[in-house]
Amino acid sequence: MSVGGESLRQRYAPALVAAAAAVFLVHAFAAAGDAPRTEAPQQLAETPTTARLAPTDARRLFVLDTAFPAAEAARTYVLDGTSGKIEGMFNQAYWPNFAVSPDGKELYAVDTYFEKHTRGKRSDYIVVRDAQTLEVKVDIPLPAGRLLIVSKKYNFDVTPDGHYGLTFNLAPSTAVTVTDLRARHAVGEIDIAGCGLIFAQAPNRFSSLCADGSIDTVTFDASAHASIARAEHIFDAKDDPAFEHSAWDKHHQMLYLITYRGSVVPVSLAGDRAVAGTAWSLASTAERAAGWRPGGWQISHFHHASRRLYVLMHQGGPWTHKTSGREVWVYDAPSGRRLERIKLREPAQSVAVSQDADPLVYVIDDSDRIDAYRSATGERLYSTAPIGFSPQLLTVWGE
């Protein structure tokens, strides 16, 4: 390569010679042990290293950035949720998904690549990374592909024992690919006609929401042979549909469907067929009249130990289900009793809560910052600088 007719080597030769000499001298001092007493040269001669993350804990926060409008440049940031400090990042690909293994030792990135950036042969993988080094351990092919959609958490889930990864597909019929994460290969496809999303509640079972308001519960074996039990009329999919990011309490196998109008439909997924409980409302009659309703992207999250439900709420009219929330409303989910209203410094698209005993509420605000609030008091702890291009999904370990 040349710049203005002068080769780079020629141009920078003097500087390279000086740098090489400096390195030589430092090493020479170190080798001779003849160092100045106040500044030990061997301490200046740093050896390049790579940081290693501490083992995954309850305050680790993963932020998936879909990188609008350069969607092939999606990535996930790793944050210390206690301080908001970025501890690492790794690349993802076109409209990805992400999850943490139940033991916290592996990270799963569901990615779609094209051979020549935006063209050429398409390949889909579950990319398995070490949770402390972020290095790739294996790319597990998804031969049947996956649905490409602006990233939604529950198009991918991992069974509670960590054995199977389940990815949603629509090409053109709706199906779920079962991947054996231990054996590192895809096992097969299960058709879920007319349904979507994946909530994996048991080692061999998941449930999906269906276009007619029913819920299919799929029990499968090691060869991905399945039996499906449909529970009908769980919710009104046409006139008051449930959000895709409804609250999922995997530990208690309870799905809290949150509807566009602000109803909560508790659904037990503990058995081989879904069972709906009594619906309740997020807002009082007066609050509904004032326009309070749920909205955003990842609009809700759940704290398993306390069984508390967190929902982004805003004031708006019909068809504002993607409008950012100004407050996070907190509920005791079994009783439906509201415990708290956390007023946000700025409207937010997505919410998650850490799963420790003193939980923090994280939101992605409309300036692409992570704002953290203490659940117990509503106090804001910090706001990060804007992160990435379009941070969109939050994940915590053990959710």
Partner 1 sequence: MDPIVGPFDRLIESLSRTVARRTSRRGFLQRGSAWLVAASAMPLLPAARPVHAADPPAGGKPARKYASAFANRAQTTDPTQCNYWRYCSSDGYLCACCGGGPSTCPPGTTPSPTSWVGSCINPDDGKTYLIAYRDCCGQDSCGRCSCLGQEGDMPSYRPQVNNDIVWCFGSSSMVYHCSSAGLVGLVD
Specify the amino acid at residue 131.
A
318 sits near partner 1 (criterion: CB under 8 A): yes
* Minimum CB distance to partner 1, residue 260 (Å): 6
Q: CB-wise, 48 or 172, nearer to partner 1?
A: 172
219 sits near partner 1 (criterion: CB under 8 A): no
324 sits near partner 1 (criterion: CB under 8 A): yes
CA dihedral 208, 209, 214, 220 (to 10 degrees): -10
Q: CB-wise, 10 or 118, nearer to partner 1?
A: 118
* Minimum CB distance to partner 1, residue 205 (Å): 18
3-state SS assignment for residue 292: strand
Q: CB-wise, 56 or 390, nearer to partner 1?
A: 390
CA distances from 233 to 175, 188, 238, 264, 276 (A): 22, 29, 11, 15, 9
Q: Candidates 19-27, 61-69, 102-110, 329-337: pick the segment binding partner 1 (CB under 8 A).
A: 61-69
Structural tokens at position 106: 């592996």
Q: Candidates 64-72, 80-88, 102-110, 330-338: pick the segment binding partner 1 (CB under 8 A).
A: 64-72
Structural tokens at position 244: 């895709």
* Segment 74 to 103, residues that bind partner 1, using CB under 8 A: 94-95
386 sits near partner 1 (criterion: CB under 8 A): no
* Minimum CB distance to partner 1, residue 88 (Å): 25
Q: Candidates 32-40, 115-123, 266-274, 351-359: pick the segment binding partner 1 (CB under 8 A).
A: 115-123
Using CB under 8 A, pick the residue from 83, 118, 284, 377 that binds partner 1: 118
171 sits near partner 1 (criterion: CB under 8 A): yes
Using CB under 8 A, pick the residue from 160, 316, 378, 398 that binds partner 1: 316
Neighbours of 92 (CB within 10 A): 24
Closest to 308 measured CA to CA, from 277, 339, 281, 280:
339
Q: CB-wise, 74 or 186, nearer to partner 1?
A: 74
279 sits near partner 1 (criterion: CB under 8 A): no
What binding mask, one character per residue, do residues 20-39 give for partner 1 by CB under 8 A, x or -?
A: --------------------
CA atoms within 13 A on the CB side of 73: 8
CA dihedral 265, 280, 393, 209 (to 10 degrees): 10
197 sits near partner 1 (criterion: CB under 8 A): yes
291 sits near partner 1 (criterion: CB under 8 A): yes
Q: Candidates 80-88, 97-105, 195-203, 222-230: pick the segment binding partner 1 (CB under 8 A).
A: 195-203
241 sits near partner 1 (criterion: CB under 8 A): yes
- Contact yes or no for 165/176 (Cβ under 8 A): no
CA distances from 152 to 98, 170, 312, 345 (A): 10, 14, 16, 25
323 sits near partner 1 (criterion: CB under 8 A): yes
CA atoms within 13 A on the CB side of 161: 9
211 sits near partner 1 (criterion: CB under 8 A): yes
3-state SS assignment for residue 274: coil
Sheet containing strand 185-191, strands side by side? 156-158, 164-170, 174-180, 185-191
133 sits near partner 1 (criterion: CB under 8 A): no
Surface-to-core class of residue 171, CB atoms within 10 Å of its CB (0-12 exposed, 13-18 middle, 19+ buried): exposed
Using CB under 8 A, pick the residue from 115, 232, 332, 366 that binds partner 1: 366
Closest to 262 measured CA to CA, from 293, 301, 302, 284:
293
Whose tokens are 């702890």? That residue is 381
* Minimum CB distance to partner 1, residue 216 (Å): 10
d(Cα 223, Cα 382) in Å, to the nearest integer?
48
199 sits near partner 1 (criterion: CB under 8 A): no
* Minimum CB distance to partner 1, residue 274 (Å): 14
Using CB under 8 A as the criterion, which residues of the chain lie in contact with partner 1 when the complex forms? 66, 68-72, 94-95, 114, 118-119, 122, 147-150, 152, 155, 170-174, 193-197, 208-211, 237-244, 260-261, 290-291, 297, 314-324, 347, 349, 366, 390, 392
